[in-house]
Amino acid sequence: MIAITGAAGFIGSALAHYLNEQFYNDLVLVDDFSRADKGRNLAGLKFTALVPRDEFSRWLDANHRLVQFVFHLGARTDTAEFNKDVFDRLNLNYSKMVWARCVQYGLPLVYASSAATYGMGEYGYRDDHAIVPLLKPLNPYGESKNEFDKWALSQKETPYFWAGFKFFNVYGPNEYHKGRMASVVFHAFRQIRDTGKMKLFRSHREDIRDGEQKRDFVYVRDVVRVLFYYMHHRKDSGIYNLGTGNARSFLDLARNVFRAMGKEEVIEFIDTPADIRDKYQYFTEADISKLRKAGYADAFFSLEEGIFDYVTRFLMPDKCYGE
């Protein structure tokens, strides 16, 4: 059995569908299944059991002998949520529980960290364990992820193999339920479809032109391939960046969405809201040299390829992964 927490969410459901494509059907899907809006993400999946999030610890106690691998991808990901207690419960303490069970029962573990841990990038975007204690995330979500990374690195007892992946700006099918936390690609598609144009934040730095703010946008189909690789790799434990290693501008992104939709390009610039302007990131780019050194050699989708695939295969026909 392969256990996946957050299995009804964006990356978790994409991973479950990818595992089915690779003929892994003995899956244990863990999530808060009370959210009907995520139901489409589970459509068509082959699996063995659905386990409510709050029952997973007891389920593992009773069934750990049947489990071969744990993907802990479930988390509260809302960067606009500022109730620290929510993140302590769902991100930090729940992750500690999963880690402890994996140690106790000898289970390999992959968990989701986040590029949000890097804050304004004062220390760069290297997945160097030495800088983890120095990082200054910009919100409670990023803080919760960094706190768990720090905690994991301080543990004397660890799963025999573990890896934490700092996801950069992931986009792709099965994110429709995420609301304002969905990717810029998703929002660009909706905005262009509904209004015929795309609004981007104006640059408030003299050295960067409007629309030239850059992010490392990574397609979810690449993300799940990396996770699948590490399910078999099971060595070189540690924290890894998971991005393309190639930052691209929001202008590039918008133009590619227009192109994939077959629409004429109409882009407007608006001021970045004053309340987030001083914390707005103008550049993120994953250093993926550690990932490459560990043996992951596959090429990543380019932004052009990823957006075209996402828009034409999923967004325009209104389909989820597996539909």
Answer yes or no: 141 catalytic.
yes
Burial of 315 by CB count in 10 Å (0-12 exposed, 13-18 middle, 19+ buried)? buried
For the beta carbon of residue 43, count every other beta carbon within 10 angstroms. 12
3-state class (DSSP) for residue 215: strand
**185: its two tokens:** 């690609």
Handedness of CA 223, 136, 81, 54 (dihedral sign): positive
Q: Which residues contact 170 (CB under 8 A, 6 or more apart)?
A: 10, 11, 183, 218, 219, 220, 223
CA count, 13 A, side-chain hemisphere, 71: 31
Query: CA torsion, points 203, 205, 208, 214, in degrees to nearest 10?
Result: -60
Out of 178, 197, 199, 263, the active site residue is: 178
Out of 94, 125, 141, 171, the active site residue is: 141
Q: Known catalytic residues?
A: 141, 178
